[in-house]
Amino acid sequence: MTRALAAFLAFLMLLSPKAMEGENTIVLSAVDGGGLEYAIGIEDPSLVSYTMKIEYAEPERERAPGDAYRIVYTFLGLRPGTCGATVSRTSPQGKTVQTAYTLSVDEALRVTVRKTRRLSSFFLSRPGSVVYPRYEIVMLEDRYQMSVDDEPFHPIDDRVAEALLEVIDDCGLSSWNGFRKSEEGVLDGEGFSLEIGFTDGTVITAGGSNAFPDGYFEAMDRIMQVLEAARAPVRFDVFREFEETVSAGREMTIGAELDENRVTDFYYTFDASYYPPYYQRYRFYTDAGKGFFFHETRQGGSWPQTEADTTDIGCTELTDDQWNAFLDLIRDGTARIREEHLEDGDAGPWMYVYFTGGEKDGREFEFATVEKRFAFEAFCEALRAETER
């Protein structure tokens, strides 16, 4: 059995109901030999227990660095009630982010899992040549209240906190945590102090003077829009309609908002720095109305690898059926405006899609399901085998 066929059969197995995510499970993606490390904590072990299962895309094949797998936590109710759970993910650089969940057990001991991360506090000050208000938001007795320039706190719509959380996640503000820099000798500059707390216990603290983290000005523009709209409750409903329209443009679904026939280029890159390092790139692109597939493998040497470490490379023109098969695999996937992530520096895979009328740098891509990603990898292996004949 060829590796490509084995991968395709493994993909069919993953489509069976027992492998699909249910309401009593948390499913995480990982790769062998690098990537994120996960840990789970249960607030009340007397209420809920759990089992852990690892599912590989190609379970019968000998394991190799870069093999993708899923970690499936299945929760079992021991008695009715509710408690919290946290999943911690740590990057190879040592950065850890936690996601909080609520585990609810009904009388029949069925477990339901829900994410419970909410904003608990927010403080922003921007001293400088341009005068900005100082904002503080707190959650008191499960209600949000805001103070501007140390004025008395007053209640605000919960949707203000939801909108801020949306900006925080969209702009990757978790990567700002711990930022402290100052650039001396700059006249008429700007500084900032930012403190954000979450109900899962995590925080973001950052500050600077004429020195800013990546994406600072775009994020601040969006944050200020939310805060300024929150000061005038009548305006906030109008603002949310505007924000939802903008957000729709920031995230597009292949085959819906983004016609798959507009796709002109697609990159898939896995680049592992462990020893021995390993690099794999797949590319689908169009040229003069025809579709092409390119692949490159680098093994050995030191990281980062160079063209001198290339062990396998090839390119082939695709038939219409093959190009359409590629489009079928990326259909229903998500194309997002590029941004920074906690996982930066990780092995990946990192995927980018380019399309007519789109951004020059392309957009980040994510498959609709992990099963589609596994099928894509199997498809690429089959095409690569054809180029080696």
Cβ atoms within 10 Å, residue 118: 16
Phi and psi dihedrals of 19, rounded to 5? -100, -5
Same domain, 139 and 231: yes
pLDDT the model gives residue 18 = 30
CB 170 within 8 A of CB 250: yes
Q: Which one, of 293, 318, 305, lies nearest residue 381 by Cα? A: 293
Regions in the chain scoring below 70 on pLDDT: 1-22, 33-35, 57, 66, 93-98, 141-142, 185-188, 232-250, 273-275, 305, 340-347, 388-389
Token code pair at residue 318: 């695709």
Cα distances (Å, whole numbers) of residue 81 to 45, 48, 102 = 12, 9, 11
CA dihedral 27, 31, 34, 40 (to 10 degrees): 20
Same domain, 279 and 312: yes
CB 271 within 8 A of CB 298: no
Same domain, 129 and 110: no
Token code pair at residue 213: 């983290």
Same domain, 134 and 81: no
pLDDT the model gives residue 5 = 42
CATH number of the domain bearing residue 158: 3.30.1560
Same domain, 123 and 75: no
CB 124 within 8 A of CB 117: no
SS (H, E, C) the chain: CCHHHHHHHHHHHHCCHHHCCCCCEEEEEEECCECCEEEEEECCCCCEEEEEEEEECCCCCCCCCCCEEEEEEEEEECCCEEEEEEEEEECCCCCEEEEEEEEEECCCCCEEEEECCCEEEEEEECCECCCCCCEEEEEECCEEEEEECCCCCEECCHHHHHHHHHHHHHCCHHHHCCCEEECCCCCCCEEEEEEEEECCCCEEEEEEECCCCCCHHHHHHHHHHHHHHHCCHHHHHHHHHHHHHHHHHHEEEECCCECHHHEEEEEEEEEECCCCCEEEEEEEEEECCEEEEEEEEEECCCCCCCHHHEEEEEEEECCHHHHHHHHHHHCCCEEEECCCCCCCCCCCCEEEEEECCCCCCCEEEECCCHHHHHHHHHHHHHHHHHHCC
- Determine the structural domain holding residue 150 and report its residue range: 119-251
pLDDT, tens digit (0-9, with 9 covering 90-100), for 284-332: 999 888 899 999 988 877 777 677 788 888 999 999 999 999 999 999 9
Token code pair at residue 372: 């589609």
Same domain, 54 and 167: no
Q: Which one, of 106, 101, 112, 45, lies nearest residue 80 by Cα? A: 106
pLDDT the model gives residue 230 = 81
Same domain, 267 and 160: no
Q: In what order do the strands lie in the sheet with 203-209?
A: 154-155, 143-148, 135-140, 119-125, 191-198, 203-209, 180-182
Same domain, 244 and 136: yes
Same domain, 127 and 246: yes
What distance in Å separates the CA atoms of residue 56 and residue 53, rounded to the nearest whole number?
10
CATH number of the domain bearing residue 14: 2.60.40
Same domain, 286 and 381: yes
Among residues 83, 115, 147, the one where a domain terminates is 115
- The half-sphere exposure of 301 on its side-chain side, counting CA atoms within 13 A, is 15
Total number of domains constituting the chain: 3
Q: In what order do the strands lie in the sheet with 96-105?
A: 37-42, 81-90, 96-105, 111-115
pLDDT the model gives residue 188 = 66
pLDDT the model gives residue 97 = 59
CB 356 within 8 A of CB 344: no
pLDDT the model gives residue 142 = 60
Same domain, 81 and 128: no
Among residues 84, 115, 146, the one where a domain terminates is 115
Phi and psi dihedrals of 128, rounded to 5? 160, -165
Which residue is it, tokens 């443009």? Answer: 249
pLDDT, tens digit (0-9, with 9 covering 90-100), for 16-49: 323 233 478 888 777 776 667 888 889 899 999 9
Same domain, 289 and 237: no
CB 65 within 8 A of CB 12: no
